[in-house]
């Protein structure tokens, strides 16, 4: 999978890809992530990529021209499954969406900033608009990092057996069961007996029951 991220703040985005699972996925060649600084596509001496909005009002808007130039340079080289715009008014990201996107070969992610992007960008170039939740971030960069993390870990080979995504919360519309590690007793707090029993069918059954129970209690909406 290849991900091209267009941003005015590449430095804000880089660190999540420099540690742990995402770093290893990149090192293993399972995903390639490229950062494109929108300012490199500005055609004026100030590297200006934003401007005041027509009609007046507070806040700057990212201009269409540098975005067009950047997207055109990328799409000239290869075709893309999706050109995604991160925005609070997009479809809310969930596990199903991450599963679907993880099957893509090439995607572009455009990060909004300030008041957003010139609406013609959204009408003309963008194939999908994604939100990471009903709250407003200062820009699309952290949202893009969330989308990339949720997606990259689902690419076959990124997680090993121990960290397999198959047992994740949400993967089957259930919350994950509780997990414990040593010691078996800490200040009188005991790990559930069944987990120490070595009876694996029984442990499996307990985990399934816990997943259903926790989902009914904490997120009944997932069971509808």
Q: Is residue 133 a contact residue for ligand ADE (CB under 6 A)?
A: yes
Stretch of 7-15, 43-51, 135-143, 189-197 lying at the interface with ligand ADE (CB under 6 A): 135-143
User: By the 8 A CB rule, do 13 and 141 touch?
Assistant: yes
Shortest spacing between CB 63 and ligand ADE, in angstroms: 18
Residue 86 or 159 having the CB closest to ligand ADE = 86
Minimum CB–partner distance for residue 83 and ligand ADE (Å): 15
Report the alpha-carbon distance of residue 204 to residue 217 in Å, rounded. 20
Q: How deeply is 204 buried, as exposed, middle or buried, from its count of CB atoms within 10 A (0-12, 13-18, 19+)?
A: exposed
Residue closer to ligand ADE, measured from CB, 63 or 159: 63
Closest alpha carbon to 131 in 168, 95, 86: 86
Contact pick of 25, 61, 83, 132 for ligand ADE (by CB under 6 A): 132
Nearest to 1 by CA among 127, 122, 123, 147: 147
Angle between helices 20-27 and 141-152 (to 10 degrees): 70
59 contacts ligand ADE (rule: CB under 6 A)? no
**Given its phi and psi angles, is residue 56 left (phi above 0), alpha (psi -120 to 50 degrees) or beta?**
left
User: By CB under 6 A, how many residues form the interface with ligand ADE?
Assistant: 12
Q: Does residue 135 interact with ligand ADE by CB under 6 A?
A: yes
For residues 88 to 127, the per-residue mask of contacts with ligand ADE, x marking binding by CB under 6 A and - elsewhere, is: x-----------------------x---------------
Strand spans (E) along 11-81? 32-37, 50-52, 60-62
Per CB under 6 A, residues contacting ligand ADE are 86-88, 112, 131-133, 135-137, 140, 143
């Amino acid at each position: 999978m290849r991900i091209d991220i267009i941003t005015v703040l590449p430095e804000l985005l880089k660190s999540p890809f420099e540690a742990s699972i995402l770093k290893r996925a990149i090192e293993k060649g399972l995903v390639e992530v490229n950062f494109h600084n929108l300012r490199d596509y500005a055609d004026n001496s100030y590297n200006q990529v934003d401007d005041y909005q027509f009609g007046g009002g507070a806040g700057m808007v990212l201009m269409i021209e540098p975005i067009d130039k950047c997207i055109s340079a990328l799409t000239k080289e290869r075709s893309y499954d999706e050109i995604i715009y991160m925005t609070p008014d997009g479809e809310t990201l969930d596990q199903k969406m991450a599963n679907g996107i993880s099957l893509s070969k090439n995607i572009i992610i455009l990060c909004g900033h300030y008041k957003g992007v010139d609406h013609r960008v959204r009408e003309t170039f963008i194939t999908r608009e994604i939100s990471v939740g009903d709250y407003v971030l200062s820009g699309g960069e952290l949202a893009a990092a969330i989308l990339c993390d949720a997606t990259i870990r689902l690419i076959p080979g990124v997680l090993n057996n121990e960290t397999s995504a198959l047992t994740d919360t949400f993967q089957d519309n259930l919350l994950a069961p509780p997990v414990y590690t040593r010691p078996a007793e800490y200040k009188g707090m005991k790990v559930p007996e069944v987990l120490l029993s070595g009876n694996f069918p029984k442990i499996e059954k307990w985990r399934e029951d816990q997943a259903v129970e926790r989902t009914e209690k904490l997120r009944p909406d997932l069971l509808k």
